[in-house]
């Protein structure tokens, strides 16, 4: 047994030298050492105590959900009303501008028509004023 046949008195073999510097691999710690360091959470310090949140019953949850939905719906309808008001105002402004332009065009058309009518009346009156020619007298006009 002394020769180390069974392995009872076997001496430890020399460990191979690890490279120094950044290539060095850290030794793996055991479970107790990791727990002491706070990795696993067994020996972790407790944080400040928080007030426990009371759990809601199904009916309370449903009521809260309905209330949230109503608030959401009211906010949405208010936003839509604001959008509609802005849109209606914009349409009204466009209509007013359009009506104003139409009135200006109509006034210009009426003025041009009045000028043409006056010119036509003037030419007709000039034709009537002319004294009949001798040829016209002969023809019976």
Which of these ranges, 61-65, 111-115, 134-138, has the smallest mean pLDDT?
A: 134-138
| DSSP code, position 4 | S
Inform me whether the pLDDT recorded for 90 exceeds 80: yes
pLDDT of residue 66: 95
> What does pTM read for this prediction?
0.36
pLDDT of residue 124: 84
| Span 18-46, pLDDT tens digits | 555 555 555 666 666 666 666 555 555 66
Query: Distance between alpha carbon 135 and the CA centroid of its chain, in Å?
Result: 88
* CB 2, CB 9: distance < 8 Å: yes
Report residue 121 as tokens: 């009346």
21 or 110, higher pLDDT: 110
pLDDT of residue 88: 95
> How far apart (Å, rounded) are the C-alpha atoms in residues 141 and 139?
6
């Amino acid at each position: 047994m002394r020769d180390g046949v069974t392995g009872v008195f076997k001496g430890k073999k020399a460990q191979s030298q690890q490279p120094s510097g950044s290539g060095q691999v850290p030794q793996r710690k055991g479970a107790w050492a990791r727990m002491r360091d706070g990795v696993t959470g067994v020996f972790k310090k407790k944080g400040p105590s928080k007030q426990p949140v009371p759990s809601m019953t199904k009916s309370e949850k449903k009521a809260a959900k309905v209330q949230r939905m109503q608030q959401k719906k009211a906010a949405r309808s208010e936003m839509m009303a604001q959008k509609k008001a802005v849109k209606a105002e914009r349409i009204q402004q466009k209509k007013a501008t359009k009506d104003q332009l139409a009135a200006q065009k109509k006034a210009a058309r009426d003025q041009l028509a009045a000028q043409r009518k006056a010119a036509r009346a003037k030419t007709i009156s000039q034709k009537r004023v002319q004294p009949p020619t001798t040829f016209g007298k002969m023809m019976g006009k």
